[in-house]
Amino acid sequence: MKTLILSLLLLLNCKAFAQSDYSKLDVNFGLGTNFYQGHFQPVWNLQAEYHINARWSLLYNYNIGGLDSSKLYVHAPMSLFAVGPVTRFLSQNSFTFSDFLGALAVGALTALIPEGVAYHYPLAYRYDLSAYANPLGLSLVFTDSYMLDKGVRYHTNLGCKLTYYSRFGVLANVHTQLNYLGSYGFYPSAGFGLGYAFGHRNIGSSE
């Protein structure tokens, strides 16, 4: 009896992993809202999520949002901001043409460093629940009192997301998160997104 119960638990666990493994790369566009000091402001999102396995994924976030009518920010992973400085530093220390090409390649590859990670749990068939953290983000903040070169701020968040995967690769999700933006402090946000799961499995109804 113990063997039977153990076997069933293992099968259920394997099935749970299989249900969550719908794609290799998710790309989605989203619309959300920030709530900052009593004000709601819109946020437009573009997110790429690369699935390492059924449980873990790497996150890349790009968005434009506002805190109030006078504060607008443009957000991207730190790695994107680092492409220019890394390429410039390596190219300045290049002594041959091949070194220069290598510097350009390494600089471009810097952009592949993710902003954050997510842990996934298969909530139900085709439904994936994930908890995520994005510690490596920066934003350019535009305000009435700061010039662009003084407006770079550390920008991080953590939250949770519920995603539905269709059999055709189209996905839909909702999320809620807590954000921290430099000297502006903490604020919550929420939103939804639509996208496509590249490399998805064409899962039939019999599974």
pTM of the model: 0.79
Taking residues 106-129, what's their average pLDDT? 86
Q: What is the mean pLDDT of residues 43-47?
A: 96
List all residues 6 or more positions away from 126 whose beta carbon is below 8 Å from its beta carbon.
Answer: 19, 22, 164, 165, 166, 203
Which residue is it, tokens 């099935």? 15
pLDDT in tens, 59-70: 999 999 999 888
Element (H, E) at 17: helix 2-20
Averaged pLDDT for residues 69-95 = 77
Give, for 4, the enclosing helix (H) or strand (E): helix 2-20
pLDDT at residue 194 is higher than 70: yes
Q: Which amino acid is at 25?
A: L
Angstrom distance (rounded) from CA 78 to CA 75: 9
Which tens digit of pLDDT belongs to each residue from 132-183? 999 999 999 988 765 544 678 999 999 999 999 998 899 999 999 999 999 8
How far apart CA 24 and CA 15 sit, in angstroms, is 18
